[in-house]
Amino acid sequence: MKIKDARILITGGSSGIGKAAAKLLSAEGAKVAITGRDKVKLDKGAAETTSIAIHADVAKEGDIETTYKIIEEKLGGLDCLVNNAGIGEFPSLEEVTVEAFMKVYSVNVFGAAMMAKKAAEIFKKQMSGNIINIASTAALKGFARGTIYSSSKFALRSMTECWQAELRPFNIRVMQVNPSEVTTAFANAERKERDEVANKLTSDEIAHAIKSLLEMDDRGMVPEVTVWATNPFKSN
């Protein structure tokens, strides 16, 4: 796909990976819209990335309807959905609650699916489109205290495979990016961005992976890419 003039919707684009992707894709000439829950942060992120701000929570079906209405009004269509919005809860097994499961699944699983459902309607009609799911290395391997988060990302990975099977005949690419640890505000109670750490990834590497997947000619599709830091044993 040509990035220039492509219409791209990134959920959770007001910080971290989504914001870095919005910035990079906008700089390459794409028309980008970002969503987020915190309006002040969202408006700031949109200004910094030359994107359209859509104040919307992917866990709310009404907000998803509004998101796609605004996309139609402001972009006149869509070429790519990046399902990036995601949250984490990391209780031990004995601390797990259905409420905590629902909180995370309503964003990482149900929200991503409902966003993709609307995108698929558009993409099927035009016989083209891209969905990029931002999962995690937690989608590949479980870990202690990962009951909720890791299982939500395993679910996302399984949906990626289902959508690939369903949508590939319509010339729609469904791709997944699995970042290992990235120094963002992720799982930070105060929602503050973390300082860069020498042996960990930054959001820019993940943004680069997203751009690379998209700019390949449409005849090619990379089903999944995992991004690791190269120097895990180096101290800061």
The contact mask relative to ligand NAP for 184-223 (x = CB under 6 A, - = no) is xxx----x--------------------------------
Which tokens go with 190?
Answer: 């105060």
When asked if residue 16 is in the footprint of ligand NAP (CB under 6 A), the reply is: yes
Measured distance CA(10)–CA(24) in Å, rounded: 12
Position among 8, 68, 86, 129 found at the interface with ligand NAP (CB under 6 A): 86
Measured distance CA(194)–CA(178) in Å, rounded: 20
Measured distance CA(38)–CA(55) in Å, rounded: 8
Measured distance CA(82)–CA(198) in Å, rounded: 27
When asked if residue 160 is in the footprint of ligand NAP (CB under 6 A), the reply is: no
When asked if residue 38 is in the footprint of ligand NAP (CB under 6 A), the reply is: yes
Q: How far is the CB of 83 from ligand NAP (least distance, A)?
A: 8
Cβ contacts of 105 within 8 Å, gap of 6 or more: 148, 152, 155
When asked if residue 136 is in the footprint of ligand NAP (CB under 6 A), the reply is: yes
In DSSP notation, 80-96 reads: EEEE---------GGG-
When asked if residue 181 is in the footprint of ligand NAP (CB under 6 A), the reply is: yes
Cβ contacts of 158 within 8 Å, gap of 6 or more: none
**Residue 149 annotated to the active site:** yes
CA 31, 118, 168 angle in degrees (round to 5)?
Answer: 90
Catalytic residue among 68, 105, 123, 149: 149
When asked if residue 103 is in the footprint of ligand NAP (CB under 6 A), the reply is: no
When asked if residue 85 is in the footprint of ligand NAP (CB under 6 A), the reply is: yes
When asked if residue 151 is in the footprint of ligand NAP (CB under 6 A), the reply is: no
Positions touching ligand NAP (CB under 6 A) are 11-18, 35-38, 41, 57-59, 84-87, 107, 111, 134, 136, 179, 181-182, 184-186, 191
Task: Give the residue numbers marked as catalytic.
Answer: 149
